[in-house]
Each structure stands twice: as C-alpha cells, then as structure tokens.
Amino acid sequence: MNTIENLNTWMMTVGRCSNDPIEIVSHFCTTLVEAGVPLWRVNIGQRFANPLLIAWGVIWTPDSTESYDVTHARMLTDGYIGSSFEYVFENQRPLHKSLRGLDPEKDHSSYLEFAEKGGTDFYATFLTYGDGSQHGCTFTTRSENDFAPEHLAMIEEAKSGLSSAMEPITMRKSTRSLLRTYLGSGPSEAVWNGSIQRGERTSLQAVVMFSDLRGFTAFSETQSEQAVFEALDGYFEVVVQAVEKNGGEVLKFMGDGVLSVFPISATDDHAERCRDAANAAQNILVALASLNANRTEADKPELEIGIGINVGEVSYGNIGSQSRLDFTVLGSAVNLASRVESLTKSIGDKVLATASAAKHAPDLFTERGYHEVRGVSSRIQIFGLIRSLY
C-alpha cells in the first residue's frame, strides 16, 4: 500500500471508531505533510442539522488543532458570502486559487488574511456524505512552489477516508445538538442514552422557576405575526441567558411561559440553588429593562413579565403514543410555581416565591402575606424579591 491507501484504511477503521475529530484531522494532515503535501493551514468544515448552529469544524496548523462552531447569523455576514465555501457549494467543483497579487477590492477577506500571514496558494473542495449533505474543506500553503497537481490529487484521493471518519461524528453531533436545542442539556443526555423511554420518567429535587409574559393574549391580537415572534424571541433570549448564567436549565417553553429548574444535588444545596434562582430572576428583570428600552426607541410596546419560584420535586419524561412522543415536565412543584407566578398580577411584584424557597434566601425576599392559590386548600405565605435588587 502507498501512503494515501494506508491513510484511507486508518480513517475507515481507527478514525471512524475514534469519535475524536481533533485526532482524525490531525492524523489526516500530518500524514499528508509526511507524504510531501506542503500544508500550512487546513479547515475541515462540517454542516449541522440545527436551527441555531449551521456548521462546526476543525482547523489544523502545524502548531495546533482546534474546533469551532458557526451560527446562522454568521452565515449571513461577509464571512461566508464570497468565501471559498460558498464557491464550492454553489458551483459544485473545487477551487484552486493563488494568494499572490490579490485585489483588496475584489478578493474575499479570508484570502487577504491568509496572504498577509504568508500564504501563497489555496485549495478548497468538499466531502459528500451518504445522506447527500456536502461539507467544505480548505487547504492553504506557504510554499514558494505552491500546490503541485500531485498534491491536489493526493488530497482528493484521501477525501474518501476522511469522509468515512468524519461522517458518523457529524451525524452524532447533529443529533445531540438537536436534542440539546429542544430538550436542554440534562434531559437530552437521558434521551440520547435511552434512559428515558415512553412511560418512563426522571424525578429530582429542584428550585422551579416559571416566567410568563403579562397581557400576551391582547398583545398577540394587536400585533402582526412577525412582531409577536420577534417579541417572543427577545423575551426567551433574556430568560434563557439569565437561567443558564446562574446554573439553571430551561426545560420547556409553554406558549409564552418558560419553565426552568435549578437542580438540587444534595440536601445542603437548597440555599445555594434558591439564591441562584433569585439571581436569575433579578438578571431577567435587568435584561428585560434593557430590551424594553430598545423596543421603546423602536416604537414597539414594552414587555411585562411575571416570575414564580418554588422548591419541590419535578418529574420529566416522554409521554404519548407508540408513534409520537412529547417531552414534558410534571409535578405539584411545577403547578405551584405557575400559580404563584399568576399572583404577580394582583400583588404587583414582578417576582414572587413560596416560603419553601424564600426561607433559604431571607435577605433576598420580603414577606407579602398569605394568599389563596388555586388548587391549594389553605392560604400560603408569599414573598416578593426585594426591589432594591433590580
């Protein structure tokens, strides 16, 4: 066997089973270099099947190998438009381009950047996977002799092995990223591992936080569909960032409501988790005020929010029929957090908590009396987040 045949064999056996894109790309590039291909920088880009991330990839240089992610927003910028990736996908053929004598007015910024760092020649091509998806690869050299035809031939010959090794990793990453996007980190791992099947559930102690937009029904009836979705996206972004920043996890979007949990891993963790939830609520209000300032400047109606916090057991799992499942969260702690949130309309506080949550962070909450809560036989003590905190 020659070097490229050995490389393809390694990719289709060891590489395919490694589940390590860094190792795969490093081995691929170093083997080509040893075979005489004068590589300086290699980018193996992989497309995602994900509504938030559109691509990921691995960049290799002789000094390091690292991975990266690309969002949909970035794809709409000049970083992609006019790039080599756009060229090979649109024209369905490789691109071989000299980096000498570039025109700053016409050539893409990436070519100019590579040339400034000493790049002399550039080659872009793509990998095609079994599902028909295509993924871009770029190769840059600093050699004074550029890429020779035999160098490009070796790259093309080695693509089959690289595809064999990278395709299963890309498929797994896409599936797991989709699960994380729609279910959150903890539940997605359970579903991926097969530990949450139909009818099964996982229970945990947690601080539960339920947030809801005030007057959203009336808002929806007076605004365009685009305005409604734009408002929801802004509101959800505020909540998710605040929850994740404070170690919580968003479990479910319920219309204009957001259900989040701050899992309690030990009995002495209650106080810390309650403070995390309170801090998240505070962060939400601060960020929402900033969002509303921008909305007011753009002549858009402000968004009002209510937040309820409670502590207790929650259960989540897959329910449904044999052919269609839904991931849901259940438990009296969830119901009570939702009903406490509804009291924000009458009490006037934007954040309310039950005594079971407030007692663990007494310096963050102030007593708001006893109130009737639907579904609870007797009045319960309610606490509001101290206003000076936000």
Question: Within this chain, do residues 125 and 26 fall inside the same structural domain, yes or no?
Answer: yes
Looking at 126, 158, 182, the residue that finishes a domain is 182
Question: Within this chain, do residues 22 and 112 fall inside the same structural domain, yes or no?
Answer: yes
What's 300's domain CATH number?
A: 3.30.70.1230
Report the 10 Å Cβ neighbour count for 127: 21
Among left, alpha and beta (phi > 0; psi -120 to 50; other), residue 377 is: alpha
Looking at 161, 182, 203, the residue that finishes a domain is 182
* Main-chain phi, psi angles of 21, to 5 degrees: -65, -30
Q: Are 137 and 45 in contact (CB under 8 A)?
A: yes
Q: Are 166 and 27 in contact (CB under 8 A)?
A: no
Q: What is the pLDDT at residue 52? A: 63
Helix, strand or coil, per DSSP, at residue 390: coil
Question: Within this chain, do residues 346 and 219 fall inside the same structural domain, yes or no?
Answer: yes
Concatenated DSSP letters of 92-159: SS-EEEE-SS--TTTS-HHHHHHHHTT--EEEEEEEE-TTS-EEEEEEEE--TT---HHHHHHHHHHH
Question: Within this chain, do residues 88 and 118 fall inside the same structural domain, yes or no?
Answer: yes
Domain that holds residue 168: 3-182
Q: Are 284 and 321 in contact (CB under 8 A)?
A: no
Is pTM beyond 0.85 here?
no
Question: Within this chain, do residues 287 and 324 fall inside the same structural domain, yes or no?
Answer: yes
Q: Are 353 and 365 in contact (CB under 8 A)?
A: yes
Query: What is the distance between the alpha carbons of residues 193 and 183, in angstroms, rounded to a whole number?
Result: 14
Looking at the structure of the chain, the number of domains it has is 2
Helix, strand or coil, per DSSP, at residue 38: coil
Question: Within this chain, do residues 304 and 344 fall inside the same structural domain, yes or no?
Answer: yes
Interior angle at CA 249, CA 285 and CA 360, nearest 5:
70
Q: What is the pLDDT at residue 195? A: 55
Q: Which residue has the tokens 């259940």?
A: 330
Q: What is the pLDDT at residue 24? A: 96
Amino acid found at 140: T
Concatenated DSSP letters of 147-194: --HHHHHHHHHHHHHHHHHHHHHHHHHHHHHHHHHHH-HHHHHHHHTT
Q: How far is CA 155 from CA 39, 64, 168, in A?
A: 11, 20, 20
Question: Within this chain, do residues 267 and 214 fall inside the same structural domain, yes or no?
Answer: yes
Question: Within this chain, do residues 297 and 160 fall inside the same structural domain, yes or no?
Answer: no
Question: Within this chain, do residues 244 and 113 fall inside the same structural domain, yes or no?
Answer: no
Helix, strand or coil, per DSSP, at residue 61: coil
- Report the length, in residues, of the chain: 390
Question: Within this chain, do residues 227 and 167 fall inside the same structural domain, yes or no?
Answer: no
Looking at 162, 182, 202, the residue that finishes a domain is 182
The residues facing 203 across adjacent strands are 315
- Tell me whether residue 59 is exposed, middle or buried, using C-beta atoms within 10 angstroms of its C-beta: 0 to 12, 13 to 18, 19 or more: middle
Query: What is the distance between the alpha carbons of residues 373 and 352, in angstroms, rounded to a whole number?
Result: 13
Q: Are 275 and 287 in contact (CB under 8 A)?
A: no
Query: What is the distance between the alpha carbons of residues 59 and 305, in angstroms, rounded to a whole number?
Result: 43
Average pLDDT by consecutive 10-residue portion of the chain (390 residues)? 89 93 96 96 86 82 90 58 89 96 92 96 95 93 96 96 93 74 64 59 86 89 91 93 92 88 81 93 95 94 95 80 71 91 92 94 92 85 83
Query: What is the distance between the alpha carbons of residues 28 and 162, in angstroms, rounded to a whole number?
Result: 7
Q: Per DSSP, which regions of 191-341 are E strands?
A: 201-213, 249-254, 257-263, 305-320, 325-330
Give the strand order in the sheet containing 65-71.
65-71, 53-60, 41-47, 134-141, 121-128, 95-98
